[in-house]
Structure 1
Amino acid sequence: MAADNLPTEFDVVILGTGLAESVIAAACSRVGQRVLHIDRRNYYAGNWASFTFNGLLAWIQEYKEQQKATDSDEGWREKLEEGEEPLLLNSVDTSISNLQVFCYASEEPEEEEEEVATPVTIPTLQNPAPPTEEGDTQEHQVEGERAQEEQTTPTEGDTAQTGEPALPNPEVKKRRITYAKILKEGRRFNIDLVSKLLYSQGSLVNLLIKSNVSRYAEFKNISRILTYRNGKVEQVPCSRADVFGSKQLTVVEKRMLMKFLTFCLDYEQHPEEYLDFTERSFWEFLQTKKLTENLQHFVLHSIAMVTPGTHTGEGLRATQHFLRCLGRYGNTPFLFPLYGMGEIPQCFCRMCAVFGGIYCLRHSVQCLVLDKESGRCKAVIDTCGQRISCSHFVVEEGYIREEQRRGVAYRQISRAVLITDRSLLPSETEQQISLLIELCSSSMTCMPGTYLVHLTCPSSGTAQEDLAPVVSRLFTEPTSAEEQGEVGSEKPTLLWVLYFNMRDSSGVDKSSYSLPSNVYLCTGPDPALGSEHAITLAETVFQQLLPDEEFCPPAPNPEDIVYDGEVPQGEGAGFGEPVQPEINEEEQITESEQDNEGSQTDVAAQIPTPAPPTEE
């Protein structure tokens, strides 16, 4: 809808399209609330967004220019009435800082394709485009173009309609990847601003299943978990099959690890084992469990994923949660959405639009209109000078000005995004998605022949200061074009690196802000691997808004919606009261059988409700 022709009254106005805000928008729209969802950016998902490579370059340039931006004019003054006062909002985003870019790829023009004496014929690929719905936003229309490109440009590791993997042509020599090539193939990249995964038993996956939003995205298993130890990258054995199939563990270590993981699954039933360590660190507890140093490292850093100083109770809960996620969708507990994590907020925005929510990008709110007597927000004035009445206002934390913050001290997240020429731990298949978060081209996040690596940690300085030592330890930084892809190099070669800091407001309580009672704050991404905080926050805000309504009830399937004049297919049919047909779970999930190279099963189209997880 045109920004200068919006309705003048809504139940809920939401500013910002991050994950929490998007979930709230979908939940409110689903139960019949009139929702206006706007964002000053020209893309969805805010600091949760995913960009093509060229889009990321534009985002970098935009943030550099924002440092010179000034506040908008004061056209809002004439819209105020007697007994009202304004609460001004920020016009620029200051949550990103210390942006630094390094390009190691050759600046030479792109090399010409080598002619192949004997061309290899590859059958047409079967890559269905993502589903569309009424009310789709312009961002989702790009997905079909992506799928069409991928169909016409088959890559190594793709699977043909026949189910047979497309074999690489042995006569094609691997060419050096230039910066010009990366720019040309920029649309094949989908680079996340935040580095997160989906726990298969986590609150986000459960919400996707419950709300039926999972139909709007596709997912892949994280196929392996990697750790860095004693100067080399190793795969961490997690499931029973991995443990007993591991060649890096001795028979004694396998028994030790299985015994300890079995204990962690129901550790609450054995309080005598850990009560003496409730106030001591998890690291100290592990040292008393007769685990080798090798196993202690695996459990602490790659299974529990906590720091050595973490209390024992928290470490045991994290280990138990990891183990309970095993077996739901594969041998590891994580899923990753094709095209990046930025797809998830857009899925919830799509759901909101389907149920009548109105979206407007490149648009913002200049100020809130407060009633002096009650202190509540009664309206907003947007950047077009329109006054829009609302009962509730939800705002991303980055829009709040300093005068509304009561000495808030923020933490920072250090991020690094790396494009490399090969995997940290090469395997026989090109279908691996690894943690450390390393993504291959089958995740639809990078071009064939490259890998996308995400590094994240709580900040102690700038992102480069925090993460450059890790980068130099794991990767080769070429000083000349000749060094790129040097034969015999043990480490992957860096092609392009981005460092930046992102503000972490997740630990700040709402009481630290001076805001009206009907204004609700959504914080940005936190440094955790999952999205538990954002989903918990979204549900909390929704229950404060509408305490008598269900949070994200299941949406009807499009084929179950009955419009006026149609014959209902069953009792209670209709848009508000959908028929709940019997669903064959086997039809809900498309599984690609593992090929001879051992590629992981993909979870496609939607996430079905699975059988109870098996204990690994």
Structure 2
Amino acid sequence: MADEMASSQSQYPTIDPGEFDLVVYGTGLPESLLAAAAAVAGKTVLHLDSNAIYGSLFSSVPISSLPSVFEDSPLFSEIETFGSAPEASRGFLLDIHGPRVLFCGDPMVDLLIKSGASHHVEFKSVDGSLIFWDGRLCPVPDSRQGIFRDRSLGLAEKSQMMKFLKLVRDHIGLDGKEGGDGSGSIAEEDLEIPFVDFLEKQRLPPKIKSIILYAITFADYDQDGGESCKKLMKTKEGIESIALYSSSIGRFPNAMGAFIYPMYGQGELPQAFCRCAAVKGALYVLRMPVVSLLMDEQNKLCKGVRLTSGQEILSSQLVMNPSFVVQNSESHMQSAREGLNSSNLLGKVARGICITNCSVQPELSNILLVFPPRSLHSEQLASVRALQLSSNVSVCPQGYFVVYLSTLCDDAILGKECLHAAINALFSSSSSETSTSSNNGDPEPKPTLLWSCVYIQEISQASCDAALCSCPTPDGNLDYRDILETTKKLYHSMYPDEEFFPESAASVNAEDDGALSD
């Protein structure tokens, strides 16, 4: 038995040196950001992952790898699949934490450019956005041109939306920042009231109000829901979200709208930051599980990790993947880890991945779709968001489309019911269901659902306790703003005197690259 163990351990490389300023376990986006920021600051960094690929909970994987992803993390449950994977299944790269996009004016895009990570990833534009209204998909008019082109809006609705957007534009100013130049600005007291009440004061019709709330500012919950609304958006937050949306349109010349998506999937983002860290001297070792934490007997703080190879690595600071569970550890070590996790769960998000044979909108390839609260059924308390992607972002073979869906939920059953309602609204599961209403009311063929996977993911917040930090899981948002802000706070809790990615010569002129592929 001892010989077998020694033989197994000898298969792993010996890591030299055996002590680092920072040890990071897991290559998810927050972990990769922390590793890169520390490496840029001159820290010695060891970055480990038990998997053979980068990304952890933020990775993009083949269909065949999904079962092992779900089995390896206690964060996933209620997994169900439908249909058979296409014969060309090796050509798919599926985001575990979809749907996810980046605003062109997103702080994450700014960081990609500032850090130089934009050199390691390419993006494609999202072609357009649709909202589910009155049983059909309608375009989201997010610009002056879009409003005038939209045949689903009447003249009065177009005029009201133009008037509202002008009010917002005057408030935020030409530079796209809240506050503007003061001319025609929104009253201070109005900024503190619920955004839905402010929209009512503007006498906006229900459809325009829904577009602004759920397809432009991306409110999560039913803003008209009273006590059932878990998060009520204030006007100030709504205006800031519109400012971000507006500043994103036209930032990059080859981006059609406000959103971009990384070629080869969202898993490319953590890889890009890992490459930045490696350039600055961070050491990377994949396929290297951590089996336990090492504890300093005097101060009862974590001082390192024991690897599956048997090697012990010392470090004054540890960052762990939120899926990590201590194995075979002494009771005080287990208590340290449980202390991080005891109150970290924030809720659940129901996620779905679908593969279909044609676009939900024939003339568009990459589309963002929003199902506002209660648009699918009366108990739908949160928006369902969906993202359709085509082969031109290299996540599926030609002739196929991948559609991601998600909705926040407290109850797994209700969350999955909402996803299934959205899936049924978009796709047919057999040739007998052949049509749905288009945005002009005419029947159009529904895409056929070839394969789907629906599952529940627990949302866990970040935590930091002396020498041991745990990163956040993917959240229920459409973008990475909250993840980035949380990661910055973690970094400053570890290194209060260090700047998070200071300006460097490497990032000069990075924006000239355009951040998008042709």
- Which TM class, normalised by the smaller chain length? 0.7 to 0.9
In structure 2, relative to structure 1, the CA distance for the partners of 1:201 and 1:589 (3 Å cut) is closer
- SS of residue paired to 1:249: coil
- SS of residue paired to 1:437: strand
Structure 1 CA distance for aligned equivalents of residues 94 and 156 of structure 2? 42
1:191 aligned partner? 94
In structure 2, relative to structure 1, the CA distance for the partners of 1:496 and 1:293 (3 Å cut) is same
1:552 Cα deviation from its structure 2 partner: 2.2
1:525 aligned partner? 474
| CA-to-aligned-CA distance 1:359-392 (integer Å, 9 cap, x gap) | 2222222222222332332222112211111121
1:311 aligned partner? 233
Q: Decide whether the 8 Å contact of 1:239 with 1:331 is kept in 2.
A: no
2:373 aligned partner? none
Aligned pair 1:298/2:278, yes or no? no
Structure 2 CA distance for aligned equivalents of residues 532 and 213 of structure 1? 17
1:324 aligned partner? 247
Measured on the aligned residues, the alpha-carbon RMSD in Å equals 2.8
AA aligned to 1:440 is: S
- SS of residue paired to 2:455: strand
1:176 aligned partner? none
Structure 1 CA distance for aligned equivalents of residues 483 and 473 of structure 2? 8
Q: Decide whether the 8 Å contact of 1:504 with 1:526 is kept in 2.
A: yes
AA aligned to 1:499 is: V
1:93 aligned partner? 73
Aligned pair 1:497/2:429, yes or no? no
| CA-to-aligned-CA distance 1:201-221 (integer Å, 9 cap, x gap) | 211101001011101111111
1:355 aligned partner? 280
TM-score, structure 2 normalization: 0.80
Structure 1 CA distance for aligned equivalents of residues 185 and 145 of structure 2? 28
1:257 Cα deviation from its structure 2 partner: 0.8
Structure 1 CA distance for aligned equivalents of residues 111 and 69 of structure 2? 34
Alignment of 1:298-447 (within 5 A): 298-306=211-219, 307-309=221-223, 310-313=232-235, 314-329=237-252, 330-400=255-325, 403-404=338-339, 405-427=341-363, 431-435=365-369, 436-447=386-397
Higher strand share: 2
- SS of residue paired to 1:397: coil
| CA-to-aligned-CA distance 1:575-614 (integer Å, 9 cap, x gap) | xxx9x6xx5976x349xxxxxxxxxxxx228xxxxxxxxx
AA aligned to 2:417 is: E
1:552 aligned partner? 501
Structure 2 CA distance for aligned equivalents of residues 434 and 412 of structure 1? 22
In structure 2, relative to structure 1, the CA distance for the partners of 1:366 and 1:604 (3 Å cut) is same
- SS of residue paired to 1:464: helix
| CA-to-aligned-CA distance 1:413-455 (integer Å, 9 cap, x gap) | 100001111111211xx65444441111111112211211111
1:504 Cα deviation from its structure 2 partner: 0.5
AA aligned to 2:455 is: F
Bigger mean CA deviation after superposition, 523-532 or 443-452? 443-452
Structure 1 CA distance for aligned equivalents of residues 217 and 285 of structure 2? 41
Structure 2 CA distance for aligned equivalents of residues 381 and 32 of structure 1? 24
In structure 2, relative to structure 1, the CA distance for the partners of 1:455 and 1:585 (3 Å cut) is closer
In structure 2, relative to structure 1, the CA distance for the partners of 1:408 and 1:389 (3 Å cut) is closer
Bigger mean CA deviation after superposition, 365-374 or 518-527? 365-374
Structure 1 CA distance for aligned equivalents of residues 388 and 278 of structure 2? 33
Aligned pair 1:464/2:413, yes or no? no
Q: Decide whether the 8 Å contact of 2:105 with 2:247 is kept in 1.
A: yes
AA aligned to 1:530 is: D
1:531 Cα deviation from its structure 2 partner: 0.5
Q: Decide whether the 8 Å contact of 1:283 with 1:308 is kept in 2.
A: no
Alignment of 1:109-124 (within 5 A): none
Alignment of 1:161-180 (within 5 A): 179=85
- SS of residue paired to 1:5: coil
Q: Decide whether the 8 Å contact of 1:543 with 1:549 is kept in 2.
A: yes
Structure 1 CA distance for aligned equivalents of residues 38 and 215 of structure 2? 38
Alignment of 1:209-224 (within 5 A): 209-224=113-128
Q: Decide whether the 8 Å contact of 1:60 with 1:99 is kept in 2.
A: no
Query: How many residues matched?
Result: 450
Structure 2 CA distance for aligned equivalents of residues 218 and 187 of structure 1? 21
In structure 2, relative to structure 1, the CA distance for the partners of 1:374 and 1:537 (3 Å cut) is same
Structure 2 CA distance for aligned equivalents of residues 527 and 47 of structure 1? 13
Task: Identify which of 138, 159, 164 aligns with 1:260.
Answer: 164
Q: Decide whether the 8 Å contact of 2:57 with 2:473 is kept in 1.
A: yes
1:308 Cα deviation from its structure 2 partner: 3.3
In structure 2, relative to structure 1, the CA distance for the partners of 1:321 and 1:2 (3 Å cut) is farther
Task: Identify which of 50, 55, 61 aligns with 1:51.
Answer: 61
1:317 Cα deviation from its structure 2 partner: 2.7
Aligned pair 1:5/2:19, yes or no? no
Q: Decide whether the 8 Å contact of 1:393 with 1:520 is kept in 2.
A: yes
Structure 2 CA distance for aligned equivalents of residues 351 and 541 of structure 1? 19
Structure 1 CA distance for aligned equivalents of residues 279 and 190 of structure 2? 54
Aligned pair 1:230/2:134, yes or no? yes
In structure 2, relative to structure 1, the CA distance for the partners of 1:99 and 1:483 (3 Å cut) is same
1:147 aligned partner? none
In structure 2, relative to structure 1, the CA distance for the partners of 1:216 and 1:236 (3 Å cut) is same
Structure 2 CA distance for aligned equivalents of residues 356 and 585 of structure 1? 24
Gaps of 5+ in 2: 1-9, 173-178, 224-231, 327-336, 370-385, 437-442
Q: Decide whether the 8 Å contact of 2:348 with 2:456 is kept in 1.
A: yes
- SS of residue paired to 1:504: strand
Structure 2 CA distance for aligned equivalents of residues 584 and 206 of structure 1? 10
In structure 2, relative to structure 1, the CA distance for the partners of 1:451 and 1:485 (3 Å cut) is farther
In structure 2, relative to structure 1, the CA distance for the partners of 1:433 and 1:554 (3 Å cut) is farther
- SS of residue paired to 1:296: helix
1:457 Cα deviation from its structure 2 partner: 0.7
1:4 Cα deviation from its structure 2 partner: 3.5
2:46 aligned partner? 36
Q: Decide whether the 8 Å contact of 1:28 with 1:35 is kept in 2.
A: yes
1:604 aligned partner? 517
- SS of residue paired to 1:369: strand
Q: Higher Cα Rg: structure 1 or 2? A: 1
AA aligned to 2:80 is: Q
Q: Decide whether the 8 Å contact of 1:300 with 1:308 is kept in 2.
A: no
| CA-to-aligned-CA distance 1:264-305 (integer Å, 9 cap, x gap) | 2326546765725734x4333322212222211211121111
